[in-house]
Amino acid sequence: DIQMTQSPSFLSASVGERVTLSCRASQNINKYLDWYQQKLGEAPKLLIYNTNNLHTGIPSRFSGSGSGTDYTLTISSLQPEDVATYFCLQRNSWPYTFGAGTKLELK
Amino acid sequence: QVQLKESGPGLVQPSQTLSLTCTVSGFSLTSNSVHWVRQPPGKGLEWVGAIWSGGSTDYNSALKSRLSISRDTSKSQVFLKMNSLQTEDTAIYFCTSFITWGQGVMVTVSS
C-alpha cells in the first residue's frame, strides 16, 4: 500500500498569513492527489483534485502543486473560516490511502 | 444536485454484522462509482471499498475478508455489509463519490 505522510501534524497561523501544508507519498502517485478540508463534526469537503485543480466553488486562495511523491496545499491568505483539518488522498493505486491530516488553527 | 445519504444502525454488538445503506440522488450509479470511507472518533480517514459504475467492487485488503459492497440501481442505493465486527470498527462511515460526501453515520460496536 502507498503510505501518505502529511506534515506538519499541527499548524498555528495568523489571519492573512500564507500557509503551506505538505503531503509525501511512499512512491510516485502521478499527480493523482486530492486535498480535503474537514471541519469539526462535518464530512470532508473536496478542495483540490489531481494536484492542482480547484474544485467548483472553492476560493482562489487555495492552490495545489507537486509531482512524483511530493505535494503541497497552499492557502495564500489564511481566513478564520479555514480553521479545519486537511487531508490528502492518493488515487493512483489500490487501495486509495489518506494522509493522517494537518490540523490548522488560528494563532 | 448530487446528494448521498447513509443510513443504518447506530449500535452493533461485537461479532455481529453491520449493514449500511447509501441512498444517492442527482446522479446515476451506472455512470459513477461510490466509495465507503470510515473515520474512527478523533482519527483519520480510511478508505473501505468501492463499487464501480459497471458493478465491480474493490475492497481494502485489511477488511476484504469481512466486507461486501453491492447496489440496487433501480433504487439508487449502495449497500455495505461487514461481518465479525469488533470495537475497532467503531467509526463514522461515509459514502462518497469523492466529489460529494454523505453526512456520515456513526456506528458504535459495543455490547
Residue A94 binned pLDDT confidence (cut-offs 50, 70, 90)? confident
Q: Taking Cα atoms as reference points, which of A30, A9, A99 lies closest to residue B47? A: A99
Q: What are phi and psi of A73, to 5 degrees?
A: -110, 130
Interatomic CA distance for residues B92 and A58, integer angstroms: 25
Minimum distance, in Å, between the CA of residue A107 and any CA atom of chain B: 22
pLDDT above 90 for B92: yes
pLDDT above 90 for A104: yes
> Can you give the C-alpha Rg of chain A in angstroms?
13
Q: Taking Cα atoms as reference points, which of B65, A85, B93 lies closest to residue A73? A: A85
Beta-carbon separation of A91 and B98 below 8 A? yes
Minimum distance, in Å, between the CA of residue A92 and any CA atom of chain B: 13
Cell matching residue B55: 458493478
Residue A22 binned pLDDT confidence (cut-offs 50, 70, 90)? very high
